[in-house]
Amino acid sequence: MSLFQNVLDTVPSGTKKYVNRQLGFAATVSKKLKLVGMTQRELAEKMGKKESYISRILSGDANPTLKTIAELEVALGEDVIAFTLEKNIEENGSVTTMVSR
């Protein structure tokens, strides 16, 4: 087994999932920017944010809040993340909400 694999095996699965989601989000935002023909400077101006912050989002170094993600989606005119809310009725009759992707 390689040294890299040994180190990777010590990383908690939650951290691996977080990094995967963070980089996936960055790639999706980048793709959407190209799709709508907008530069990161234009996106920053439209959102009232610094271009350096948008750059950090695109590199996977920023951890935007859900509010910022919603603002980003409005500025792009495109959804970046998708999820659905499903209501399930438990056996006892109470309603729970499950989030799925």
Q: What is the 3-state secondary structure of 30-92?
A: HHHHHHHCCCHHHHHHHHCCCHHHHHHHHHCCCCCCHHHHHHHHHHHCCCCCCCEEEEEECCC
Q: Residues 80-91: pLDDT tens digits?
A: 998 776 665 555
CA–CA separation, 26 vs 56, rounded Å? 9
Average pLDDT, the chain: 87
Q: What are the structural domains of the chain?
A: 3-100 (1.10.260.40)
Q: Residues 57-79: pLDDT tens digits?
A: 999 999 999 999 999 999 999 99
Taking the model in full, what pTM does it have? 0.74
